[in-house]
Amino acid sequence: MRNQLRPIVRVRSTAGTGTTYVTRKNRRNDPDRMVLRKYDPKIRAHVEFREER
């Protein structure tokens, strides 16, 4: 039950560098795709990271 409610998701940079982060999300609170603003070390800037399926 635990893994179904909070699955591990991978978020990929929208800058096209291929950088990914791995995080967990709560499906009950966030049913849509997750969008986070995180640091992309390849371009040395903060960009949006979107959940990939």
Q: What is the CATH number of the domain that holds 30?
A: 2.20.28.120
Strand 8-13 relative to strand 45-52, pairing: antiparallel
Give how many domains the chain has, as a whole number.
Answer: 1
pLDDT at res. 12: 98
Block means of pLDDT (10 residues each) for the chain, length 53 residues?
83 96 93 96 98 90
35, 40, 3: which is closest to 20 by C-alpha?
40
15, 13, 9: which is closest to 34 by C-alpha?
9
Which domain covers residue 12, as residue numbers? 2-52
pLDDT at res. 2: 64
Q: How far apart are CA 1 and CA 30, in angstroms?
A: 17
pTM of this structure: 0.84
